[in-house]
A = this chain, B = another copy of it.
């Protein structure tokens, strides 16, 4: 077991929150494998803290469904199946359609230009290095993240950016054979961007749905063979 340095106690954050964030990050990165036992004492000694903060962190992660928790037994890294991911994508589709619609209606000029700049960056990145995994890469999520923010609906934003996206990242790290869709996704972003810029909420919503349906379709192709 590696002895990780003591978590930097940033300002007035409590240890349990810092711990939760670190563990969450490690689950997303796949450093903690699905099903892996999260022993309280082990984590406590690893971070040089007592078990109290560790327990609180684990409860938090359990509430967010990053760990499965069984009373008197303990916590394990939640394992997410491809079927789970499909369900996530199904919900995501509906919510992002709403986000795109609202964004087209409500985004300020500043927000729109930020989104445009984002797209331009991705575009140039892609043309430089062709083999860019443009599917739930940080860049791709940035785009969707900005639209979610631009919806002006904090409930929507929270569900998408704090629940679904992280969960999707976990899925991705647990099934590394999910590949990006490259140029095609970039094209789709372009259409969405244009619709939002013109304030065409209906089109923005439709393009977003198509965009995510493509992603879901390639996921379904992945699952079919195993049925």
Contact = CB atoms under 8 A, between A and B. Distances in A.
Interface in A139-186: 153-156, 158-159, 163
Interface of A: 12-14, 16-17, 52, 55-56, 59-60, 63-65, 71-72, 84, 87-88, 90-91, 93-95, 97-98, 102, 153-156, 158-159, 163
Dominant secondary structure at the A interface: helix
- Nearest first, the 7 closest Cβ-Cβ pairs linking A and B are A63-B63, A87-B155, A94-B98, A14-B71, A94-B94, A87-B153, A56-B59
Given A59-B56, A91-B98, A159-B159, A71 B12 contact: yes
B91 A95 contact: yes
A91 B155 contact: yes
Contacts of A93: 98
A154 B63 contact: no
A40 B14 CA distance: 16
